[in-house]
Amino acid sequence: MPIFQAIVLGITQGLTEFLPISSSGHLEIVPWLFNWNEFVGDSRAENTFDVALHFGTLIGAATYLRKDICFYSKAGLSALVGRRPWSAEAKIGWLLLLSAMPAAIVAVIFEPFLLRQSDRLGLIAVGLAVFGVILWL
């Protein structure tokens, strides 16, 4: 993949990840718009690149939020080990961790189906539009 394309996709990921829209959907649409065919027939390489982009976002967010992550992690772990009532911070820490579980479970169960649908740009575009309207309302 040419470096220019990687930069454009990295910028797309960075701009869309923290908005209430699908960064993964945009990572499918942008190459189609520019007729980039780097990953045609090689979904494994495309998935690896997408994971690398998402991992970069995770590292950036974790770096920015490191003080909060440490604060809530320490509170949650000390509440788990200690024999005293849980503080609000400990509850928030564990609830944040728990809130990721439904998405992880859905991803594991429906992964084969979702991977087959990821090449259907019409479905991606309709999904982005429908949920965009829902968020606008």
Determine, yes or no, domain membership for 87.
no
As for how many domains the chain has, the answer is 1
Rounded to two decimals, the pTM is 0.73
29: how many CB neighbours lie within 10 A of its CB?
16
Determine, yes or no, domain membership for 42.
yes
Distance (Å, rounded) from C-alpha 58 to C-alpha 62?
6
Determine, yes or no, domain membership for 34.
yes
User: How does the average pLDDT of the chain come out, rounded?
Assistant: 86
pLDDT digits (tens, 9 = 90+) for 91-114: 999 999 999 899 889 888 988 887
Determine, yes or no, domain membership for 48.
yes
Domain membership of residue 104 as a residue range: 3-64+100-136
Determine, yes or no, domain membership for 69.
no
Distance (Å, rounded) from C-alpha 53 to C-alpha 14?
9
